[in-house]
Amino acid sequence: MGWPTTKGLLGALLLAAAAVNAQQAMLQVDLDSPDSIKSAAKTVAAKLKTYYHGDEPGQTPGILPGPPPGGFYYWWQAGAMWGTYVDYWFYTGDDTYNAEAMRSMVFQAEAPANAYMPRNWTASLGNDDQGFWGMAAMLAAEVNFPNPPEDQPQWLALAQAVFNTQVVRWEDQDCGGGLRWQVEHTNGGYDYKNTIANGVFLNIASRLARYTRNDTYAFWTEKTWDWIEARGYITEDYNVLDGGHIPFQCKDLNPVQFSANAAILIHAAAVMFNYTEGQPREKWRGRVAGLLNHTVDHFFPDGIMIERACELEERVQCNTDQHSFKGYMHRALATVAVLAPFTYDTIVKALRSSTQGAVSSCLADGTCGFRWNTGGYDGDVAAGPAGQQMSALAALSTLLIDQEKVLNGPLTNQTGGTSQGDPNAGQKFTGVSPPREITTGDRAGAGILTAVVLASFVGSVVWMGMGWSEA
């Protein structure tokens, strides 16, 4: 063999070795092996933890670095992260992060109201922000996450506190009902009534109804869903639109479709399908089926999830919040598959193919990308890396759906749920917008709520097109 030939052979061997090394540098997972999935999820979970510093000296427990410009993240996203870790524990059995999750979720509730309305975050507090923490607490109750000590607020009571402080913000005089996006009148977006704020409210209400078998919560679920439909935020084809502005009586529909909105609504619909009987159950079945069909078609083209509103073929223009949405959809659909078994085959097929895409975006050390349909790590960290990690962790965790404890469904207080509730939780709120007490009429679902009118609103119409964030 002459030297040129030998040199060519060596070059080919080097290229082959580089290809092998590149392959080995990616996260390796056998999606047919629960042990392999758990191992990969453990690696991704550990990487996610590196972005959290609340357990370090001098840092605030429970939050991710922020808000901007001090860090990428607003307060709500840490609540979503702890919910992701609660699900991770439930699916995998790994309790590595349980103690910090408990400490964080209790600390951020903020005594004495323990309603997830901390004074330090008033300047950017939305009903959806509060609701994401409330949904994490509700999840903890549903999966029997270890209960806090008796002298601390309990998971069910925390979710009830969120509901109680939000139900009194319902107002009928503008747009015929609904919750505003923001809590305080000084916040940008206060004149916007959107799907996410009302969606998290009805999501918590539906789960409280099922867990406690108290139909007051079911009444508010129905009322809120009917309002969202009446405003056109859910179309006849089950497109889930973002919202509208009060100066236009919420008729200036923002047509953008975010997966988080659809995920929270289909989750709630499946809860109500599971909870109700007779004709109401068939109504909720239709809503679950309609939302599922649209969700799969719109957000899972070619079987891999895409955040269609901002993840474009030629570029990504998603903000920090939107980088985390895929995880909420995977987690929601897994629960839907359990609560509404007629959806199981369709959902599991979509989750598996999408998770395969998610895995292909992850490096061997658990660092995961945002795009799941490129076959590699995209290096997209300009808006922060935590959302990508949460989404990949959720995708891996929920593939462990075929376990008896999962398939038995979220617990209730009649099927083994141990969390203690408090129907009057949240009534000790001392912030700038204190809610009134919930009356007997409220609990009976009768009568008309008198809304708390917040004065001195001055502002202009805020364009919400791509701003599903607190910026």
> What is the model's pLDDT at position 123?
86
Q: Span 372-380, mean pLDDT?
A: 97
Question: Tens digit of pLDDT for each residue in 10-37?
Answer: 444 333 333 334 444 999 999 999 999 9
Q: Band the pLDDT of 427: cuts 50, 70, 90.
A: confident
The one-letter amino acid code at 385 reads P
Q: Where are the domains of the chain?
A: 35-444
Question: Looking up tokens 């998603």, which residue turns up?
Answer: 318
CB atoms within 10 A of CB 83: 26
Q: Span 238-262, mean pLDDT?
A: 98
> In angstroms, rounded to a whole number, what is the distance separating the alpha carbons of residues 219 and 205?
9
Question: Tens digit of pLDDT for each residue in 112-140?
Answer: 999 999 999 988 899 999 999 999 999 99
Question: Looking up tokens 């990690």, which residue turns up?
Answer: 389
Q: Band the pLDDT of 3: cuts 50, 70, 90.
A: very low
> What is the model's pLDDT at position 116?
98
Strand, coil or helix: 204: helix
46 touches 394 (CB < 8 A)? no
> What is the model's pLDDT at position 21?
41
Q: Band the pLDDT of 430: cuts 50, 70, 90.
A: low
Q: What's the pTM value of the predicted model, to 2 decimals?
A: 0.88
> What is the model's pLDDT at position 394?
98
Q: Span 372-401, mean pLDDT?
A: 97
For the chain, the C-alpha Rg in angstroms (whole number) is 23
The CATH topology of domain 35-444 is Glycosyltransferase (1.50.10)
